[in-house]
Amino acid sequence: MSIKGKAYIAGVFEHPTRKAPDKSIAQLHAEVADGALADAGLSRADVDGYFCAADAPGFGASSMVDYLNLKVRHVDSTELGGCSYIAHVAHAAQAIAAGKCNVALVTLAGRPRSEGHSGTMARPRDPNQPDQPWEHPYGVATVNGYGMCAMRHMYQYGTTSEQLAWVKVAASHHAQHNPNAMLRDVVTVEDVLNSPIISDPLHRLDCCVVSDGGGAVVVVRPEIAKSLERPRVKIIGAGEAIKHQNGGDIDLTYSAAVWSGPAAFAEAGVKPADIKYASIYDSFTITVIIQLEDLGFCEKGKGGRFVADGNLISGVGKLPFNTDGGGLCNNHPSNRGGMTKVIEAVRQLRGEAHPAVQVKNCDLALAHGTGLQLATRHGAATLILERE
Amino acid sequence: MLMAKDRKIPAPTPGIESQPFFDAAKESRFLIRKCRACGRAHWYPRAICPFCASADTAWVEASGKGTIYAYSVMRRVPEPFALAYVTLAEGPTMLTNIVDCDLDALRIGQAVEIVFKPAENGLPVPMFKPV
Ligand SMILES: [Zn+2]
């Protein structure tokens, strides 16, 4: 069963905070939930489906449904790291199509900035993780895993640090218009190259920010969407996949988007060239280049050339991306960038992005993310949305 | 020139499927897991073959020779180190560190060989150094 046209995004909300030392994670979840419901013109009493990932505190969905005092008949806590929420929107559409719920709420929140987490630290591991003995001793943080992917991409395809830097430059051009963005200064390729190397070949400005915050999305069945006084954003295609170490047959030059992307395009019945705006997870600049290739926006190995010279800047290039400033400049709540990718795509389709970055006649958008560690195991989720 | 220093290596937690590896490593033997049904070696080691799902797998001693598939030197930490994937002569590519080397002189494709380094809990961890 296809989800095409079976559900709509009726409400979105991005928490304006970037540092929340005086709020609990559950409280942030509640604030974004209420924000997205208010945006849709709905209330907590309307919600009958709830979706969250591993950022939800306590017992996950059960703790959050309790805290929010919801009554739900459908629950999903699929965990794919930072792209989980993109997959949740698709799962919500599936659940709605199957008659399992009418109003699905997806929430994300976290405060890694207040808690002092960054991408240079290895995270604690579950001793029962099957590859714990084969990973934990080696100091896999976030940045050095993605760094290896960049090193290999450069080695195999001649991708350069200058090309990587263009991704950040484009994001900064967008972020200057976002009053909530953590980094609003426009930067140049030179600024990126002059920032210190964190882990080869990634400079400080190749890395996303660490921020507190969160976001939420409300997905509803078509009859409800039509009864609400908001521009209608229809879900027309989705895909998800997991790529891993493949028994030791490693290829770091591609991501699971090679599977999630074509699945989403096939379901939607559109091609990459039809997309007017793309939200692309930008944990690091290299992440964007690899995903753009895998999604079919350019040939494999040519992502560096594709992003160069401002091609991702709204109003300048061929593929406007992350017009909120993305994870590189705006925010990266809970170290998970998937939610904000959906939210900015919805803003673009509604015509509610900042006028300086709003894409003209934006009727077709893509939101794509990668979650966990690109170099070892990661999830990917692709969503294609249409303005009705 | 940035010589790699010995760093504090986080402890592996051996389990049912990995204990024999560390027992052999204490005798400086480097084992990998190979499937007798399909003939392929895999990494990381599993009781059941990830390629053909056969339970007929066994530990075999590997040459300890390989080449660097990819690496990244983490620089913004007190003791810079090289995270890497090394492709073993036997086929599989494994996550590891490159040690006992000039971190600025590493390159993809470089030949390396096994060296065991003690983790915080004393267990020998398989790492590689340039030949
Ligand atoms: Zn086999």
Query: What is the whole-number distance in angstroms between the Cα of residue B31 and the centre of ligand 1?
Result: 17
pLDDT at position A355: 98
Question: Whole-model pTM?
Answer: 0.97
Rounded Cα–Cα distance for residues A205 and A216 (Å) = 27
Q: Does B58 touch chain A (CB under 8 A)?
A: no
CB contact under 8 A, B10 and A131: no
Q: Which residues of B touch A252 (CB under 8 A)?
A: 69-70, 85
Closest listed residue to residue A289, CA positions, set A382, A176, A154, A120: A154
Q: Which residue has the higher pLDDT, A127 or B59?
A: B59
Q: Which residues of B touch A249 (CB under 8 A)?
A: 92-93
pLDDT tens per residue, range A270-310:
999 999 999 999 999 999 999 999 999 999 999 999 999 99
pLDDT at position A127: 78
pLDDT at position A123: 61
B21 torsion bin: left (phi>0), alpha (psi -120 to 50), beta (else): alpha
Query: What is the whole-number distance in angstroms between the Cα of residue B34 and the centre of ligand 1?
Result: 8
Residue of A nearest to B50 (CA): A247
Closest listed residue to residue A144, CA positions, set A372, A379, A373, A377: A373
Closest listed residue to residue A202, CA positions, set A284, A265, A138: A284
Shortest Cα distance, chain B CAs vs residue A246, angstroms: 8
Q: Indicate the average pLDDT of chain A.
A: 96
pLDDT tens per residue, range B69-118:
999 999 999 999 999 999 999 999 999 999 999 999 999 999 999 999 99
CB contact under 8 A, B70 and A138: no
Residues listed for chain A: 388
pLDDT at position A317: 98
Rounded Cα–Cα distance for residues A152 and B129 (Å) = 19
- Give me the total of CB pairs closer than 8 Å, taking one residue from chain A and one from chain B: 131
pLDDT tens per residue, range A208-247:
999 999 999 999 999 999 999 999 999 999 999 999 999 9
Closest listed residue to residue A317, CA positions, set A329, A327, A305, A334: A305
Pick B50's closest partner by Cβ from A202, A247, A252.
A247
State which residues have CB under 5 angstroms from ligand 1, the bound ion: B 35, 37-38, 49, 51-52, 54
If you search the block for the tokens 């599993």, which residue do you land on? Answer: B46
pLDDT at position A117: 76
Residue B70, classified by CB atoms within 10 Å of its CB into exposed (0-12), middle (13-18) or buried (19+), is buried
pLDDT at position A74: 98
Q: What angle do CA A180, A322, A118 make, to 5 degrees?
A: 65
pLDDT at position B45: 97
Give me the interface pTM, i.e. the ipTM.
0.98
CB contact under 8 A, A134 and B43: yes
Q: Return the SS3 of B51.
A: coil
Q: Return the SS3 of A217.
A: strand
Q: What angle do CA A118, A120, A121 make, to 5 degrees?
A: 80
- Kindly state the percentage of chain A with pLDDT values over 70: 98
Tokens representing A368 are: 């794509």
Pairing relationship of beta strands A103-110 and A49-51 according to DSSP bridges:
parallel
What are the b/e assignments for B24-39, b being 16+ CB within 10 Å?
ebeeeebbbbbbeeee
- How far does Cα A107 stand from its chain's mean position? 13
Q: Is the pLDDT of residue B67 over 80?
A: yes
Tokens representing A322 are: 């992350």
CB contact under 8 A, A199 and B46: no
Rounded Cα–Cα distance for residues A147 and A198 (Å) = 9
Rounded Cα–Cα distance for residues A125 and A107 (Å) = 25
> pLDDT grade, residue A14 (50/70/90)?
very high
Tokens representing A88 are: 């949740």
pLDDT tens per residue, range A320-337:
999 999 999 999 999 999
Mutate to test the interface with A, among B72, B75, B110 (most CBs of A within 10 A): B72
Pick B70's closest partner by Cβ from A128, A138, A151.
A151
Residue of A nearest to B68 (CA): A152
Pairing relationship of beta strands A49-51 and B81-88 according to DSSP bridges:
unpaired
Mutate to test the interface with A, among B16, B23, B71, B95 (most CBs of A within 10 A): B95
- Other Cβ atoms less than 10 A from the Cβ of A308: the count is 20
pLDDT tens per residue, range A165-199:
999 999 999 999 999 999 999 999 999 999 999 99
pLDDT at position B60: 98
Mutate to test the interface with B, among A136, A142, A151, A251 (most CBs of B within 10 A): A151
Q: Which domains does chain B carry? A: 19-130 (2.40.50.840)
| Helix/strand/coil (H/E/C) assignment for every residue in A108-133 | EEECHHHHCCCCCCCCCCCCCCCCHH
User: What is the 8-class DSSP label of residue A306?
Assistant: H
Torsion of CA A318, A2, A224, A41, to 10 degrees: -40
Tokens representing B64 are: 């300890």
Q: Candidates 3.40.50.300, 3.40.50.10470, 3.50.50.60, 3.40.47.10; correct CATH number of A8-115+208-387? A: 3.40.47.10
**Range in A114-128, B26-40, B44-58 with the lowest mean pLDDT:** A114-128
Amino acid symbol at A99: G
pLDDT tens per residue, range A120-146:
665 666 778 899 999 999 999 999 999
pLDDT at position B26: 97
Cβ atoms B119, B125 nearer than 8 A: yes
